[in-house]
């Protein structure tokens, strides 16, 4: 399953000091780790309402994007960049927190529903498509759906943080496969930890 190469990686989160290190900001954390490895830095891009970095590849560039629109309207930022650079949904990878996976679990998948994730809902609406890649990083579930908002807006417990950090580090090992569109190999390596 070699697919189209990725041209945009969007990490989801909320801007601002009070959201740093919260479960909902795992997408930002993942992108920061990748940017450090690739030796690129983010800068504000007003037209995309986000922080952007460009990764130069031999055959195409990959944009890294941290929307600064707040989670629930992430699609405004993702959609603006996609329209500007004519990037189709199949060339987009979204990194996000996942309540349905235990802390430390990480799954790569294509398409599907949003699982109630407001950031994904916004992106699906703005792209008019569910056909984009997702890297789902498990944060666990509080056990009561009425506690979800408070839960994702707080940092994980220390033992959860260590598991999540390990999963993010493990996922960095498949970046080169993801970048070239070899998702079958990336999933095999990622899902057999």
22 within 8 A of 153, measured Cβ to Cβ: yes
Query: Is 141 one of the annotated active-site residues of the chain?
Result: no
Tell whether residue 84 is among the known ligand binding residues: no
Give the tokens for residue 139. 């944060």
Tell whether residue 19 is among the known ligand binding residues: yes
Tell whether residue 25 is among the known ligand binding residues: no
Tell whether residue 85 is among the known ligand binding residues: no
The strand pair at 133-138 and 61-67 is best described as: unpaired
Handedness of CA 118, 26, 30, 69 (dihedral sign): positive
Candidates 24, 60, 96, 141; catalytic one: 24
102 within 8 A of 140, measured Cβ to Cβ: yes
- CA 164 to CA 33: how far, in whole Å? 13
Give the tokens for residue 155. 């940092």
Q: Which residues are annotated as a binding site for tRNA?
A: 19, 70, 72, 118
Q: Which residues are annotated as a binding site?
A: 19, 70, 72, 118
Active-site residues, by number, are 24
């Amino acid at each position: 399953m070699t697919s189209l190469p990725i041209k945009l990686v969007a990490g989801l989160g909320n801007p601002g000091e009070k959201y740093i290190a919260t479960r909902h900001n795992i997408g930002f954390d993942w992108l920061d780790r990748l940017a450090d490895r690739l030796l690129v830095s983010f800068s504000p891009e007003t037209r995309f309402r986000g922080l952007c970095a460009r990764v130069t590849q031999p055959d195409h560039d990959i944009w890294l994007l941290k929307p600064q629109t707040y989670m629930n309207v992430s699609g405004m930022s993702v959609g603006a960049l996609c329209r500007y650079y004519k990037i189709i949904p199949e060339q987009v990878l979204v990194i996000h927190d996942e309540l349905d996976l235990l802390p430390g679990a990480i799954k790569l998948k294509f398409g599907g529903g949003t699982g109630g994730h407001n950031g994904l809902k916004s992106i699906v609406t703005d792209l008019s498509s569910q056909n984009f890649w997702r890297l789902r990083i498990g944060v666990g579930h509080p056990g009561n759906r009425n506690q979800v908002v408070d839960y994702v807006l707080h940092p994980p417990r220390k033992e959860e943080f260590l598991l999540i950090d390990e999963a993010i580090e493990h996922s960095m090992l498949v970046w080169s496969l993801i970048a070239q569109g070899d998702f079958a190999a990336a999933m095999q390596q990622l899902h057999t930890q």
